[in-house]
Structure 1
Amino acid sequence: MSDQTDAAGPPRVSGKPVDPRLLRYAASSRWFFVAIGAIAVAQTAVIIAFAGLLTRVIVGAIERMPLPELAATLGALGAVVAVRALLLWAREAVASRAAARVQTELRAALIAGIDRLGPEWLDTRNSAALAVTAGRGLDALEAYFGRYLPQLVSTAVATPILVATMWWQDWISGLTVVLTLPLIPIFMVLIGYATRATQQRQWSTLQRLAARFADTVEGLSTLKIYGRQHRAAASIEKVTADYRRETMKVLRVSFLSGFALEFLASISVAVIAVSIGFRLIDGSLALGVGLFVLLLAPEAYLPLRQVGVQFHAATEGVAASDVVFDVLDAAGTRAHGTAAGIGARSAHRGGESAPRRTGSAPNRASGVLRIEGMRVRRGGRMLPPVDFVAAPGTVTLIEGPSGAGKSSVLAALRGAAGFEGTAQIGDAAIRSLAPATWLAWAGQRPGLVSGSISENVALGDPAPEAGDIRRALELACAGELDPARRLGVQGAGISGGQAQRVAVARAFYRRLRGRSVVVALDEPSSALDPDTEARLWRNVRAVADQGAAVVLVSHRRSAREIADQVVALNALEVVR
């Protein structure tokens, strides 16, 4: 079962209409704003033209305009309606295309950011919550780009132009709009705060539901053995009910806010209409001017009103994008800090770990792993120091009781745990290298994925070699498994011992392909019978004899038979 924390805690929804980080992390959003702005200008011009032409038609009909002139005006009005429909289609098309591109860019940036932050950072996050953010969360950006942002740009462009036009034609109506229009954003801000808190709870509940479901599925076999599957199902049901309740709260607030905004806009338009009506009666306002201004009045309030309505449809995407931006900010800060010399400062402070870097493979001729004074940071505590040298052609056995830090040493080597001290492969510090360039590793959890056994063994190899896959399976004592056999999620379809051996075969495969200097195995025989275990030890010894530096973690005393050196750990001290 996973004990990881949430991906980034409760989502922090930005208080700004548009988060400037969107422009920084999604380049496609820049041309989107330019295109939407141009369309908004054209739509505003069309709205004014429509109101003017419709006013002319109505006034002309009342004043008995000549039929040919009236027909021409009606034709122009029809053309304006067609242009308005075309602009609406163009806005939808631009928004849809921009949303798809931004989703792709942010997903790629999120993966790259997680890669820069490294396994140590990822080990403190819940992968299910991150998956929800990258999947459903970023999918919700469709509403953000398709509805909210176009409406926001339209409001910024159309509202000032429409108000200025109304003021130019009838300053009293324009003044009325200027005085009543601010009421809508005031209510939007008040409602927005309530919506943001509700949306944060909904998003947090969804992440918790995803994490709980993923953990339950992963540990289902264990739960089944101990008869706890019904309790786990009840827990998921409870979280689902919480999510349903939070979703209904979001919908309730959305409907109430929509009603409030519509009510304010309707009252404001009614005030303008009454004012125009009285002035038409006393003859102080011409019919054409009054009708033109009255047709523009709803359009002046509509953009701002729709911003509030569409904000609710976009809040889920905004919450997810904020989580993504926080991850990218952390990755950018980490990369910038390293470039500025964090590595040197860390060494001065005692060798505190710096983030991983993608580097070239170390010199294989000098592929000696040197660990001096390594103190691994796990669970808020520093483990006792570890010292050893693992040279090519040797097997270094790390043993000790549970909790002594055996697996933590391997976690530090692969970047999943911070440490103090010195760790070098050849003449390069492992902090400056990507683990994939020098390390082949198999942990206690096989970490198999859906696909064939062959795909699992050759995971990460762009050009798998069938012969090496079969050889790796034989070395891992899994030669009886068909490489073409398909596995389900988490390696479903084979036994636990077979899954463990496939994971070991993956490490051996990387060594056979020349992609690793060090092979690290964490309890590779824990699910094996004595005969299979003895065969595995012989094969591990053979891999070492062929030039690999093998670091082996095992509690089995039989592992001592193949070890060149033993590093014994306990809770108090480390001895050689």
Structure 2
Amino acid sequence: MGTEHEESTPERVSAKPVDPRLLRYARGSRGYFVALAAISLAQTTLIIAFAWLLTRAIVDAIDGMPLDGLAPTLAAFAAVVVLRGVVLWVREQVASRAAARVQVELRERLFDAVGALGPGWLATRNSAQLAVTAGRGLDALEAYFGRYLPQLVQTVVATPIILAVMWWQDWISGLTVLLTLPLIPVFMVLIGLATRSVQQRQWKTLQRLAARFADTVQGLSTLKVFGRQHRAAASIEHVTDDYRRETMKVLRVSFLSGFALEFLASISVAIVAVSIGFRLIDGSLALAVGLFVLLLAPEAYLPIRQVGVQFHAASEGVAATDDVFAVLDAARAQAPTEPSTAEPGPAPSPLVLHDVRVRRGGRVLAPVGLHVAPGQVTLLEGPSGTGKSSVFAALRGSAEFSGTAELAGIDVRGIPSSSWLAWSGQQPGLTSGTIAANVALGDDEPDSATVERALDLACAGDLSPMLVLGVQGAGLSGGQAQRVAVARAFYRHLRGRAGVIALDEPSSALDAETEARLWRSVRMLADDGAAVILVSHRPSARGIADTVVRLEPTEEQSNEQSEVPA
């Protein structure tokens, strides 16, 4: 799961109603805005028709018109009411489908971006935080698309039209609305900035809680052995209390801002109503005009008022999209201007490292040079901390390095490691599912016979491929899990997906007899054409190695190597 990484960057507080990156990364949102504009125009037309027909019906009834004369107006009024309901239903359907499409599109882009950034970038992030962003965070876009954006577009379309109609009918009321309307956006911006800041802190606390919980569960057995499980539980409880307090702050700001916006809108409508009332009394304004304008006045303030209200409901989704866009921006900035289309091909090819200096943990390791040819086993030896596993991390893309690392003359940094490297690390990295699914991980069309052969070669033939494992491979012993991980690397090579096999301490949890069988399997695969890089502290590994590269720490350098024949 990884160590919990705290973000030191300042909170991102955007004053933009809609992040323009949404249109860039979620193409499905472009048509949605066009549809919302059309729906908002229809809603505005129906609002004006509703107010006008209601005004006519009331005024005609006051004038003593019989029911037969009112029937056409009442029928038209009923039709408008039904149409308003239909338009609202259409808007809900369009918003729901658009939210679903954008969620899928952003998740796919997020996964692609993480893959493009590579293991090196991922190693500096906490996977639990990314999971919260990709899961709950993007799920919160339902409120953003279903409530906030429709109200925002409705404000842009409806408010100017309704204001123009009011000015046309009664310029004094129109001027009153024009002067009082800006008060709501001003307060809304101020409240929105406060809400955004509080929401960002709540979102970061939720991510920290998820990371802390995931790390605690992963290391629970170790914590219990050392009697620290209670301290870990107390830490989770402390972060949970922080999340509760941040959530209450969000709710408090939301309720206060809602009250402020409603109060301003009510006062503004009251000013319009008082002005119309005085002019109706002195006869300077006709009843039909006054009533029509008065019915439209709340509708002029309603859209912009609802934008502020719905912003709070959508704020969690907005915070999540900030994190998603940050990942997508990083992937876009890292993308090469002219990506290489060269591939090493399926045939075994030599792997050549020259003056490779790996950067790990803020330090640069000593240069490493290797020449791993097909049919050979190259053994990396040396004390812990001299950079053996770091070489593997560089080949996988999990660590930056200088120098050259080429496969068939192609820089390995320009090709995905999954296309040429079969790797087994010190941590098995198993997932929930069958053993067969773990062995054939990444193969869309797994071959059961090859799965069984890979298990046999990894000395795990006694395990049933159909055995279902729990989370992180629960259900196997440490040695069994290690052998399944080695079988996964063997399977990838046997399927022709990787010409280079890299094994990091594959026998650390094995007994001497099983280890000897494993070494024979590795030697056999090399004799069949595989290029094998092996890291092992076991002296028995020298028996199958063609070349031994030893890394040693010195006073002048962090480590050095000497190459001798096996």
Q: Which category describes the TM-score, using the shorter chain as reference length?
A: over 0.9
Alignment of 1:417-436 (within 5 A): 417-436=399-418
Change (3 A) 1:504 1:9: farther
Could you give the per-residue CA deviations for residues 171-195 of structure 1, whole angstroms, max 9, x where no partner exists? Answer: 1111110111000010011111111
| Match in the other structure for 1:344 | none
Q: Is 1:457 matched up with 2:443? A: no
| Match in the other structure for 2:559 | 573
Residue number among 471, 474, 483 corresponding to 2:465 in the alignment: 483
Q: Partner of 1:384: helix, strand, or coil?
A: coil
Matches of 2:186 and 2:8, distance apart in 1? 31
Alignment of 1:47-62 (within 5 A): 47-62=47-62
Decide whether the 8 Å contact of 1:13 with 1:318 is kept in 2: no
- For structure 2, the 5+ residue unaligned runs are none
Corresponding letter in the other structure for 1:484: M
| Match in the other structure for 1:339 | 337
Mean CA deviation greater in 282-291 or 150-159 = 282-291
Could you give the per-residue CA deviations for residues 327-384 of structure 1, whole angstroms, max 9, x where no partner exists? Answer: 111111211xx2259xxxxxxxxxxxxxxx775343625x111111000011122111
Decide whether the 8 Å contact of 1:442 with 1:520 is kept in 2: yes
Alignment of 1:510-521 (within 5 A): 510-521=492-503
Could you give the per-residue CA deviations for residues 443-466 of structure 1, whole angstroms, max 9, x where no partner exists? Answer: 111111110000000001111111
Alignment of 1:61-80 (within 5 A): 61-80=61-80
Q: CA deviation at 1:476?
A: 1.1
Q: Partner of 1:398: helix, strand, or coil?
A: strand
Decide whether the 8 Å contact of 2:377 with 2:526 is kept in 1: yes
Decide whether the 8 Å contact of 2:455 with 2:484 is kept in 1: yes
Matches of 2:507 and 2:239, distance apart in 1? 38
Matches of 1:18 and 1:74, distance apart in 2? 40
| Match in the other structure for 1:411 | 393
Mean CA deviation greater in 13-22 or 141-150 = 13-22
Could you give the per-residue CA deviations for residues 437-493 of structure 1, whole angstroms, max 9, x where no partner exists? Answer: 110000111111110000000001111111111111111111111100000110011
Residue number among 542, 560, 563 corresponding to 2:542 in the alignment: 560
Matches of 2:471 and 2:514, distance apart in 1? 26
| Match in the other structure for 2:146 | 146
Corresponding letter in the other structure for 1:382: V
| Match in the other structure for 1:384 | 366
Decide whether the 8 Å contact of 2:342 with 2:410 is kept in 1: no
Decide whether the 8 Å contact of 1:452 with 1:483 is kept in 2: yes
Corresponding letter in the other structure for 1:339: T
Q: Is 1:263 matched up with 2:263? A: yes
Decide whether the 8 Å contact of 1:99 with 1:141 is kept in 2: yes
Q: Kindly report the root-mean-square deviation, in angstroms, between the aligned alpha carbons of the 2 structures.
A: 1.5
Q: Partner of 1:339: helix, strand, or coil?
A: coil
Q: Partner of 1:515: helix, strand, or coil?
A: coil
Change (3 A) 1:466 1:453: same
| Match in the other structure for 2:380 | 398
Decide whether the 8 Å contact of 1:398 with 1:551 is kept in 2: yes
| Match in the other structure for 2:207 | 207
Alignment of 1:16-415 (within 5 A): 16-335=16-335, 338-339=336-337, 360-362=343-345, 364=347, 367-415=349-397
Q: State how many pairs are aligned.
A: 558
Change (3 A) 1:506 1:108: same
Mean CA deviation greater in 376-385 or 556-565 = 556-565
Decide whether the 8 Å contact of 1:11 with 1:203 is kept in 2: no
Q: CA deviation at 1:8?
A: 9.4
| Match in the other structure for 1:544 | 526
Corresponding letter in the other structure for 2:196: R
Change (3 A) 1:531 1:11: farther
Change (3 A) 1:459 1:6: farther
Decide whether the 8 Å contact of 2:435 with 2:464 is kept in 1: yes
Decide whether the 8 Å contact of 1:176 with 1:272 is kept in 2: yes
Decide whether the 8 Å contact of 1:364 with 1:426 is kept in 2: no
Q: CA deviation at 1:557?
A: 1.9
Could you give the per-residue CA deviations for residues 2-60 of structure 1, whole angstroms, max 9, x where no partner exists? Answer: 22535896663432111111111111101111111001001001000010111111111
| Match in the other structure for 1:351 | none
Decide whether the 8 Å contact of 2:198 with 2:246 is kept in 1: yes
Corresponding letter in the other structure for 1:436: S
| Match in the other structure for 1:2 | 2
Decide whether the 8 Å contact of 1:13 with 1:322 is kept in 2: no
Mean CA deviation greater in 121-130 or 292-301 = 121-130
Matches of 1:222 and 1:281, distance apart in 2? 83
| Match in the other structure for 1:345 | none
| Match in the other structure for 1:348 | none
Q: CA deviation at 1:160?
A: 0.3
Decide whether the 8 Å contact of 1:188 with 1:308 is kept in 2: yes
Q: Partner of 2:431: helix, strand, or coil?
A: coil
Q: CA deviation at 1:154?
A: 0.1
Could you give the per-residue CA deviations for residues 376-405 of structure 1, whole angstroms, max 9, x where no partner exists? Answer: 011122111001111111111112122111
Decide whether the 8 Å contact of 1:7 with 1:130 is kept in 2: no
Decide whether the 8 Å contact of 2:2 with 2:123 is kept in 1: no
Corresponding letter in the other structure for 1:455: A
Could you state the TM-score of these two structures normalised by the residue count of structure 1? 0.94
Q: Partner of 1:82: helix, strand, or coil?
A: helix
Q: CA deviation at 1:106?
A: 0.4
Corresponding letter in the other structure for 2:307: V
| Match in the other structure for 1:347 | none
Matches of 2:144 and 2:39, distance apart in 1? 17
Decide whether the 8 Å contact of 2:198 with 2:250 is kept in 1: yes
Matches of 1:392 and 1:331, distance apart in 2? 34
Decide whether the 8 Å contact of 1:8 with 1:125 is kept in 2: no
Decide whether the 8 Å contact of 1:11 with 1:323 is kept in 2: no
Decide whether the 8 Å contact of 1:362 with 1:425 is kept in 2: no
Q: Is 1:528 matched up with 2:497? A: no
Change (3 A) 1:35 1:128: same
Matches of 1:358 and 1:212, distance apart in 2? 41
Mean CA deviation greater in 28-37 or 553-562 = 553-562
Q: Partner of 2:65: helix, strand, or coil?
A: coil
Q: CA deviation at 1:212?
A: 1.0
Corresponding letter in the other structure for 1:200: Q
Q: Partner of 1:364: helix, strand, or coil?
A: coil
Q: Partner of 2:156: helix, strand, or coil?
A: helix
| Match in the other structure for 2:426 | 444
Q: CA deviation at 1:514?
A: 1.3
Matches of 2:23 and 2:6, distance apart in 1? 26
Q: CA deviation at 1:200?
A: 0.7
Q: Partner of 2:119: helix, strand, or coil?
A: helix
Change (3 A) 1:499 1:358: farther
Could you give the per-residue CA deviations for residues 141-176 of structure 1, whole angstroms, max 9, x where no partner exists? Answer: 000000000000000000000111111111111111
Corresponding letter in the other structure for 1:3: T
Corresponding letter in the other structure for 2:399: A
Could you state the TM-score of these two structures normalised by the residue count of structure 2? 0.96
Matches of 2:478 and 2:384, distance apart in 1? 21
Q: Partner of 2:534: helix, strand, or coil?
A: strand
Matches of 1:498 and 1:358, distance apart in 2? 39
Percent identity over the alignment is 70
